[in-house]
Amino acid sequence: MSQTILLVDDEENDVFFMMEAFKRMGISKCQVVHDGQQAVDYLSGTGRFADRAQFPQPTLVLLDLKLPHVMGLEVLRRIRERPGGPIVIILSASSDATDISTAYSIGANAYLVKPSSVDELYQLVKSIKDFGPDDRIAVPTIRASMQAMMMGIALEQAYGIGQHGRLDSNQVQLGHPDALQALLSPQHEVNSHFSIPPFQDIAMKSPLVHHVLTSTDVLGGPASITNAWSTQRFVEGNPIKIKAFIAALDEASDMVVNDTRAAAEIYLGVTKEKITVDELVAVIKQPGAIFSATPQRSMLWAEYMHRIGLIKQKPASWKDYSFPNIHDRNGS
């Protein structure tokens, strides 16, 4: 699948700003046309754009409204006449409510008002935070998954306590492998994915994908994202098994840290994921990644869950919801 961006804009300064922003983001697969008729010809593969090796079909179109020959809204109409088609984001100087409403009614995926400088544009392109009602964000479980709760914490930080549910209606329940495929498909309704390694690293290879936020941004540092659960009856009745289980977790964590390549080979041998050993080693060693059976920053989750009513009693310490077997550790 092509991962090309088509920029349609007749203003030389705006094109310059956009290309500079792309350069900062490491995006190189961008084609530029300067009027609406060129955009129509490019998308249909006619005239001088017939060579698809040189002018590949885009998966994202950044479209100005006021264009020579064929106006932007007409270009959008022609794009939406065909099933499927690329993601289309209107990038216009107009903030007129009628223009915005019309663009969305024809089938624009988003409408953004042009910023006045390359720095503003870079931030706009790289960190769009104001999701609209038509955006769909893939999470493993709506509201209750780690990713959904992370989103809620981030929303509280942005908008205040009590605003954690602002994007509940935007969430779509998908497992990470399916969410990755959806994100990379311009025909799918999902246009965002709150992901985890290595799926986020695979997605970031696409020039159409950028980070909006990370867990370390939200939580102020690395945190545990996976937990092992059991009943108190089982733990108390099987002390040797529990001791062996914790020892195995410690051994596995040590292996990931001290023999990363071997751990990566074992992981890929089991999961068959489409990532090389070298790429996975880089994922494991990236800043913010921790591998430990000792809980880190788990109280941030607990406090949030109590605050929004997912748990009734607020724990005073991480030890309140963990078994004594690990209470001698420096957890949080």
pLDDT tens profile 198-232: 788 888 777 667 778 888 888 888 888 888 889 99
**Distances, alpha carbon 113 to alpha carbons 9, 62, 90, 132, in Å:** 13, 12, 8, 14
Domain boundaries, the chain: 5-126, 137-215, 232-326
Pick the CATH number of 5-126 from 3.40.718.10, 1.10.600.10, 3.40.50.2300, 3.40.640.10: 3.40.50.2300
- For the record, the structure tokens of 143 come out as 């509201």
Q: What is the pLDDT of residue 2?
A: 45
pLDDT at 128 over 50: no
> What pLDDT digit, counting tens, does each position of 226-261 carry?
888 899 999 999 999 999 999 999 999 999 999 999
pLDDT digits (tens, 9 = 90+) for 169-181: 999 999 999 999 8
Name the residue among 155, 81, 126 with its Cα closest to residue 304: 155
Calpha distance 149→164 (Å, rounded) = 8
Specify the pTM: 0.61
pLDDT tens digits for 269-301?
Answer: 998 887 889 988 988 888 888 899 999 999 998
pLDDT-based confidence at residue 117 (cuts at 50, 70, 90): low
Measure Cα distances from 155 to 150, 186, 278, 291 in Å. Answer: 9, 26, 35, 27
Q: Residue 104: beta bridge partners? A: none
pLDDT of residue 116: 60
- String of b and e for 43-74 (b: at least 16 CB within 10 Å)? beeeeebeeeeebbbbbbbbbbbebeebebbb
- Let me know: does 62 contact 8? Beta carbons within 8 Å: yes
Rounded to an integer, what distance in angstroms lies between the CA atom of residue 201 and that of residue 210? Answer: 11
Higher pLDDT: 173 or 166? It is 173
Contact 41, 17 (CB under 8 A): no
Residue 251: name the closest of 239, 262, 238, 265 by CA: 262
**Span of 92-96, 129-133, 180-184, 307-311 with lowest mean pLDDT:** 129-133
